[in-house]
Chains A and B, each alone.
Chain A
Amino acid sequence: MYNRKAQISEGITWIVATIAIIIILLVSLFFTSFSRKDKEISKDFFSDTINQKSFLSYLLTKENEGGIIYSKIKTDEDLSNFNGNMAIKIFNGLYKEKYSQIWIGVSRLGKGVLGGTSLNGIENDFFGKRPSSIVSGPMGSVAYKDSYSSILPLKKETFAEIIFAKKSG
């Protein structure tokens, strides 16, 4: 009687151990299946440095009055009628389909969160408000927007900036 009870107890131990081993294996297989997806390297692994070429050439383009766009933006600290429309023609024309939002304008270095510094864009008539780098998610969560920017210094703490916000998915 006691011998049978001991055998049953020992058998149950082995069954539990088997189930534990199988669960550990299944969990491992489950996480391994995710690593297979990671082997697909994202197309957006590198930022589009080619767009920065367009931005630099845009800033070097001469305005009707003679000076280059960079100098005009530096003086005005804003986009003018000529260079604003020119920016729309170049950047919306070339990249609008690829990005969810493009913003070009003047940004000033200001106070950011937790005592740090951040760029605060000046709203302009052509591209509106500078898009926030943080987007709100579900359940009150926040996340960094998948975007990148290029800046070129104009004056102390003032920059010409272009932002490309990537399309989600």
Chain B
Amino acid sequence: MILGKKGAEKTISIYWFAILIIVAGAVVYMVASVYGQPYDVRQIESDILANNIADCISEGGYLKEKVLNDASFKENFLGRCSLNFEAADFPGTNGEYYAEINFYDFDSENKINFEVSSGNLNLKQFCEIKGRTNPACSQKSFYVIDKNQQSYRIDVTAVVNKADKNV
């Protein structure tokens, strides 16, 4: 009788141990599934970058002066727009960002020969390819006029790679 009771207690101990392992395993799986995968914020980052570039070249509905056909803006685009494309967390890469601005005459739709770009040009090709691990790309257009009522369409392209820490 005493031996039977001891056997039952042993069985219950094994059972409890098994339940403990199952519960602990499930908790570990749930925590890993929630926190194990990083948030992919690259699309938002590229959208913000495109918006900031748009803010840099137009203000109050007008195209800013000393932007279009200004060689100093083209040469010092990042500095003029207060952008920093250095990514300290990604050493050894050719750059994790790319930005490009194209100007078009709104009425004739002709491209104006004044293209501004900076960053890793190789990233631009991924704008046409969809894929979770590919760089995030934002292509935005807006209408703007200058102080002389000349109207333009401006296309802004912003690409963010940073796949290693977001995917």
- Residues of chain A touching chain B, judged by Cβ–Cβ distance below 8 Å, are 7, 14, 18, 21-22, 25, 28-29, 32-33, 35-36, 39-41, 43, 45-46, 48-51, 53-54, 56-62, 90, 94-95
B140 in contact with A48 (CB, 8 Å): yes
Q: Indicate which residue in B30, B142, B156 contacts A29 across the interface (CB closer than 8 Å).
A: B30
Residues of B within 8 A of A39 (CB): 37-40
Determine the distance from Cα of A43 to Cα of B42 in the docked complex, in whole angstroms.
Answer: 10
B115-140 CB contacts (< 8 Å) to partner A: 140
B33 in contact with A33 (CB, 8 Å): yes
- Contacts across chains A and B counted by CB atoms under 8 Å: 88
A50 in contact with B51 (CB, 8 Å): yes
A50 in contact with B144 given A57-B58, A94-B153 (CB within 8 Å): no
- Residues of chain B touching chain A, judged by Cβ–Cβ distance below 8 Å, are 8, 12, 15, 19, 22-23, 26, 29-30, 33-34, 37-41, 43-44, 47-48, 50-51, 54, 58, 60-62, 106, 140-145, 149, 151, 153, 156
Nearest A-chain residue to B32, judged by Cβ: A32
A57 in contact with B62 (CB, 8 Å): yes
A32 in contact with B48 given A48-B140, A50-B140, A53-B142 (CB within 8 Å): no
Q: Indicate which residue in B22, B43, B62 contacts A25 across the interface (CB closer than 8 Å).
A: B22
Q: Can you list the 5 inter-chain pairs with the closest CB atoms, starting with the nearest?
A: A56-B61, A54-B143, A32-B30, A60-B61, A25-B26
Determine the distance from Cα of A62 to Cα of B33 in the docked complex, in whole angstroms.
Answer: 56
Determine the distance from Cα of A165 to Cα of B37 in the docked complex, in whole angstroms.
Answer: 32
Nearest B-chain residue to A10, judged by Cβ: B8
What are 23 sample pairs from A and B whose C-beta atoms fall under 8 A apart?
A7-B8, A21-B23, A22-B22, A25-B22, A25-B26, A29-B29, A32-B29, A32-B30, A33-B33, A36-B34, A39-B39, A41-B39, A41-B41, A46-B44, A50-B54, A50-B142, A53-B54, A53-B58, A54-B142, A57-B142, A57-B143, A90-B143, A94-B153
